[in-house]
Structures are given as C-alpha cells and as structure tokens.
Structure 1
C-alpha cells in the first residue's frame, strides 16, 4: 500500500513520505473526534429532544457504515502537510523571518502553532509573494473560524464571485485582480447560518 500511497502523494504534489502522511492522518483523526462517537452524547436531553423533533438522527454509526470523519481527516492532513514554515514563507515572499511573524501577529497572514513552530497555509501565497488583498480579507474572517474552514472557503468556487460566467474561488478571484472587498464581505459571514 505504501508504494501506491507514495504515488498518490507525489501526484498531488505533497512533500511527505507515506509513513509521515499516515502519521498526520492518525494525528488529525485523534484530534477530530473519538473513533466511535455517540452523537447524542454531545447534547443535553432537551437538545436531543429538540433535534429529534426536527428529524436529526443522533443514533451511533452502525458497523460497516462509512466514517464521516475520513474526508475531514484527509483534508486536515493535506492542509498541514502543504503549509509552509516561517522560513519557507519568508523565502517565498523575499523578506526576513521576523517580518513573516510580524504579519501573522498583525493578522495580515494566517497560520497556527504546530510542533516545531508556525505553519502558514499555502493557499495565501503566490509563486513570488502574498495573495493580493489578503490582509483586507483576513481582517473580516471571524476569529472563531478554524483554519480548515478558511482554507475551504478560499479555495472553493463561490456563486457570488464570477469570472466571466463561471463561479471562482476567492483565491482565484484575488489572483485575477478581483476586488478584495467582495471576498472580505463573504468571509465576514463564515460560521453564520445560511
């Protein structure tokens, strides 16, 4: 299996061995939720009753049923593996590492502390710098939004951002010279009910 996995990782452009990737997956799965969660256990009796009344199934997953955590775990592992270190980001942008740390603390770049230091999601960088208008967008992202949510938003086509007649991702919109205020407005609604 590791040869096939290494082929997939190489085709995806991920700089990690099969063993390292599987370790990332295991770590992400452990952080996400217990292996056999009982959905009802997360809610009070009143909350369970209210959710059941509107048709929400809170029964535990049956044996053999696909684990809904799998996609989230894989996405988390890819986000973590493709993220840059402060040194890599500094080299990409052409500045000193202290400038990258300053941009993170000022909210003009986003990232998270990980073993070994800061990790900065790759989606916020271009081949030679930082995504145009990024600071304006990040200033509007609600502080409670996880890195996975922000990454998914920035890389998923949005109906409100059209290039020609085709929905485009906020990242591609900004790369094409689109108005960052439109992306910032959309970003400000992350985590709110549709």
Structure 2
C-alpha cells in the first residue's frame, strides 16, 4: 500500500460517524464489522476504483466499459446508461466492488482459518486452476480473499471443483454475486432456491454446482 498519514482521514471519518450518531471510532467500527483494513487502505481502494471510471465526457461512448464486461454486469441488474445523481449505476458498481474488497480476508487471515501458513494460501490462489478464489485489484495490491469460501472448519467442500470450471474472465463482483445469490436450479426440500455456496455448505451434490458454473460466461 502507499504510505499515508492516517490521522486526517481518521479525524474526518470519526467526525462523520459522530454526525450519524455512532459513538465508535472508524477503526473500532471496522474491527467490529470484521474488516481488517485501515481507513487509509479503504480510501486508497476506493480511489483506485474511481480512477478506472471513464471521464464524464466519455461516458456516452459505447465501448466504455468493455462490451463483454457490460453484458455480464447487466445480468446482475447493473446498467451503464449515463446518469447524473447519487444513484449513478457506475458509481454504485464501484461502491459494491469496494465493499467486496474491504470485507474480504487477507492471506494471513485465510491461513488462520485453514490452519496453514500464508504461503500455502498463496499457492492455492495461484494454482492452475485456482483452488481458492482471490482478487488482486492491481499488481501492487495484496490478495483479498472473499469470505464466502469458508466455514468454521476451513474451505467449503467442493469449492475447488467449482473454481476449476469457472470462467476466469468473469469480473470479481460477478463471481461473488453468483456464489451468494439464490439460483433457480438449486432448490432444497421446501422448494426454496438457495445460493451455490449455501448448496455446497449444506453438503448437497457438488456436481450440480459444477454444471451450472460451467455454463457461466
């Protein structure tokens, strides 16, 4: 991460929390929510994502963002029409992606859950195919590992088989949303659709999720 003087950001963040009636400091709030990042690190992640947005005068160009990415994100209910205001879908997408990064685990945190060392976690992340799903926002960033992959005993059973067939071109926001969203093809006894990760966590057939994942593109 880039070196920051965190004090000004902490002061501003704490003041904003007090205005919302929250007595905790920003760092205390982050720890309570299970986010092992500083205010400065979260601010940097957001800035990096904002830097990837097209300029205002470019937002009507059909090639921005790249067409396949737009189509995939549209499947999640995200649109890319020019819009002025606080509900701008581009800004919402950036915010959602930043939330995923901020709530994800570091390699050290994942290692503690799995009972291995951090180097083993990195091996799983970089295996071909990957046996653990991780996100690197850019070459300078550390791995961020979405929490959905773990239960109290470690990595969810069958996850590596699903990752082996998952399209590596999928956007991280797409991957996390798909794993955590109810799927009409995965129905439990009460006819209620569950998410792929709920299905795996409950011990149902891994092959069912693998086949669905194979069709994603």
Q: Could you tell me the TM-score, scaled by structure 2's length? A: 0.69
Going from structure 1 to structure 2, the CA distance change for 1:8 and 1:183 (only over 3 Å counts) comes to farther
* Equivalences for residues 170-185 of structure 1 within 5 A: 170-185=196-211
1:34 aligns with 2:59: no
Q: Which residue of 2 aligns with 1:150?
A: 175
Q: Could you tell me how far apart the structure 2 residues matched to 1:88 and 1:22 are?
A: 21
CA RMSD in angstroms comes to: 2.9
Distance in 1, matches of 2:195 and 2:145, equals 19
Query: Which residue does 1:111 correspond to in 2?
Result: 134
Q: CA deviation at 1:142?
A: 1.0
Alignment partner of 1:72 is 2:93: yes
Q: Match for residue 97 of structure 1?
A: 118
Q: 1:63 to 1:94 in 2, by over 3 A?
A: closer
Q: Deviations over 1:19-41 (max 9, x none)?
A: 6544433322222x224243334
Which whole-Å deviations, capped at 9, do the CAs of 1:125-181 have from their partners, x for residues lacking one?
Answer: 112300110011000101211221111100001001112211111111111111111
From 98, 102, 120, give the equivalent of 2:145. 120
- For the 8 Å contact 1:153–1:170, the answer to whether it is kept is yes
Q: Which residue is equivalent to 1:163? A: 188
The change in CA–CA distance for 1:138 and 1:39 in structure 2 (over 3 A counts) is: same
2:109 corresponds to which of 85, 88, 92: 88
Name the CA distance, whole Å, in 1 between partners of 2:33 and 2:146. 16
Q: Give the conservation status (yes or no) of the 8 Å contact 2:105–2:145.
A: yes
Gaps of 5+ in 2: 1-14, 68-79
CA contact (8 A) 2:83 2:89 kept: no
How many correspondences in the alignment?
176
Name stretches of at least 5 consecutive residues in structure 1 with no aligned partner. Answer: 48-58
The 2-side partners of 1:65 and 1:86 are apart by 34
Counterpart residue number, 1:2: 16
**Structure-2 change in CA distance of 1:62 and 1:84 (3 Å):** closer
User: Is the Cα contact below 8 Å between 1:2 and 1:18 reproduced in 2?
Assistant: no
